[in-house]
Structure 1
Amino acid sequence: MADFFSDLPEGFVAEALALTTPRDASRLSSVNSFFRSAAEWDSVWGSFVPPERLAKADGGPGSLKEMYLRLCDHPIIIEDGNKSFWLDKCTGKKCYMFAAKQLSIALVNSPNCWRWTSIPESRFTEVAELISVCSLEVSGKVNTSILSPNTTYAGHLVFKTTAEAYGFEYRPVEVCMGDSTNVRMVYLDPEAQNRRRLRSKRRIGIFGRLAFASYSEVPSPCEDNCPKQREDGWFEVEIGEYCYSMGGDEVEEVEISVMEVKRGNLKSGLIIQGIEIRPKNGV
């Protein structure tokens, strides 16, 4: 088998590898030295780099493989510092985070409700810190023209909470990505699962019950609806998913929202870095 492939022009094999995925190209490079050499060609990795990024490379230093890996491991800040962009390492699909500045946040310009602040852990210059509100309303829009086609994307709220945070214990918020029929409930309390065993020993007040048509509709904290800590130290919770298929010249705007407007309890201590969209489970 090795002799058969070694008789082929290396450029031919490189062209074939360019039709696969970054993960497949990397795996095939371990077959033998011939594949390894072909997998280093710029024509292979140039096919995985988005055209708009490739154009900006303009013959810069390093191979296109090195450029691809930089785009995977080091998100770049674009659009006046309000959005970050990177690539999923296995698939080469586009990923983004929209900074809090790019989101619509109700009462964000009221100093008694929110404040803009800078913290070193954020990739953006400013984050939004919740001072005190009764109704939480955060939303954004994603133009499908920036997404990788034929990809199922998941949206995630990326946030932290302060030591004095309150108002989110035992109280889920409504999140949605895309059609309004996709509304689900998640928790923004990083300790929600740890509090679960205490929940059965406490009664949620009558106003908490009246917020839903039925008390049974309040979901219990579990792995699927609770925040997960990221490698960068922030927390994230999945908002929903959207399947983007190549649709010719059709462009849509996908709405993403995080809301809690039914109960009227005061909330404080939420720090929003942004909303991240990336391929669902790397596909």
Structure 2
Amino acid sequence: MPTEKKKPRSERDDGAVAVLPPECIAHVLSFTTPRDVCRASLVDKTFLATAETDALWERFLPSDRVEILSRAVDPVEYASNKELYFRLCNPILVDQAKMSFQLEKATGKKWYMISAEKMQVTWGDTPQYWRWVSLKESRFAQVVELLAVCWLHISASQLASVKLGAYASEMHVSLMLDDDDDEEDDNQGMEETENTKNIRLREDGWLQVELGEFYNNEGDEGEMEATLWETQELHWKQGLIIHGLEIRPKKGE
């Protein structure tokens, strides 16, 4: 008995979805995330057409994108809002190349990095203690290298804090990678907890350590302060290279 060959999902009638006005579909998709929109466009041709529209991707772009783009060191070229969105998912230098800006690809949340040049480094202008150098693997023109100070302890743990308005969090962080061959390392066996963070290797080759987290319920107003210090172990330290301070959304949110 002859049977009808089943059409691929992209060629089948989309039913109720197909009769909805594009504006309605775009409105519904705007309540999801860019990642969800990309996934939906792969399984439904109606969603695919809507997922290319400027109106939809404008919902995912930051409302202050014009101001952000005006601060870019190099012009950001794009032909559509979708293209602009994915262009901003890669870092762009802003503010005379002293900061970088990007969007988290899955959610569209803002992600900033402040260069070492824009940070306050105590004795940073004293060649005896710090020196400014250029590294090809850094997105910024200069990073700062610690030559010798006695108040910054880098071999065990440091006290870090993040403050936003009246809210502040504080934790100990390790600036040394775990070394299974060094049983004498003070960091050995130190498990990461809510109040203790270990250093981690990034995909770009740099090391990173979390200084803290905060919830911003004040919109774009207010000033955030992040501090890393050690004032108890006063022996001399060296070798720390500071690339910058990254402010980004928490994963999974």
The TM-score, its normalising length taken from structure 1, stands at 0.74
* Distance in 1, Cα, partners of 2:192 & 2:43: 39
Secondary structure of the residue aligned to 1:241 is coil
Q: 1:59 to 1:133 in 2, by over 3 A?
A: closer
Please give the alpha-carbon distance, in whole angstroms, between the structure 1 residues aligned to 2:191 and 2:85: 36
Distance in 2 (CA, whole Å) between partners of 1:70 and 1:11 is 25
* Conservation of the 8 A alpha-carbon contact between 1:88 and 1:282: no
SS of the residue 2:183 aligns to: helix
Report the CA distance shift for 1:184/1:196 in structure 2 as closer, same or farther (over 3 A). Answer: farther
Partner of 2:208: 236
Distance 2:138 2:228 in 1: 20
What is the aligned partner in structure 1 of residue 9 from structure 2?
A: none
In structure 2, do the counterparts of structure 1 residues 96 and 266 end up closer, same or farther at CA, with 3 Å as the change threshold?
Answer: same
Say if 1:85 and 1:96, in contact at 8 Å, map to a contact too: yes
Q: Secondary structure at the match of 2:159?
A: strand
Residue among 214, 236, 240 paired with 1:266: 236
Sequence identity percentage: 36
* Distance change (3 Å), C-alpha of 1:38 and 1:277: same
Partner residue of 2:115?
99
- Contact kept, 8 Å, 2:115 with 2:243, in 1: the verdict is yes
Distance 1:20 1:104, change over 3 A: same
Of Structure 1 and Structure 2, the greater helix share is in: 1
| Residue of structure 2 equivalent to 1:176 | 161
> Is the 2:179–2:188 contact (alpha carbons within 8 Å) kept by the matching residues of 1?
no
How many residues get paired? Answer: 231
In the other structure, the counterpart of 1:222 is: 191
Instruction: Point out 4+ residue stretches in structure 1 off by more than 4 angstroms.
Output: 54-60
Q: Which has the larger radius of gyration?
A: 2
In structure 2, do the counterparts of structure 1 residues 261 and 196 end up closer, same or farther at CA, with 3 Å as the change threshold? farther
Do 1:173 and 1:185's aligned partners in 2 also have CA atoms closer than 8 Å? yes
Measure the CA separation in 1 of the matches of 2:52 and 2:239. Answer: 48
TM-score (norm 2): 0.82
Counterpart amino acid of 1:262?
Answer: Q
Deviation at 1:19, TM superposition (A): 2.9
Q: Is the 8 A contact 1:114 1:128 kept in 2?
A: yes
Q: Higher mean Cα deviation, 266-275 or 4-13?
A: 4-13
Preserved CA contact (<8 Å) 1:18 1:43: no
**In the alignment, does 2:124 pair up with 1:108?**
yes
Name stretches of at least 5 consecutive residues in structure 2 with no aligned partner. 1-12
- Structure 2 residue aligned with 1:126: 142
State the match for 1:215 in structure 2. Answer: none
- Could you list the runs of 5+ residues in structure 1 that have no partner in the other structure? 137-166, 205-217
Output the CA distance in 2 between the equivalents of 1:196 and 1:281.
Answer: 32
CA RMSD of aligned residues (A): 2.6
Matches within 5 A, 1:14-25: 14-25=26-37
Distance 1:246 1:91 in 2: 20
1:3-48 residue CA offsets vs partner (Å, 9 max, x unmatched): 1010111232122212322122222222311111111111111111
Q: Is the 8 A contact 2:162 2:168 kept in 1?
A: no
**Is 1:75 paired with 2:91?**
yes
Report the structure, 1 or 2, having the larger strand content.
1
Structure-to-structure mapping, 1:241-252, within 5 angstroms: 241-246=213-218, 251-252=221-222
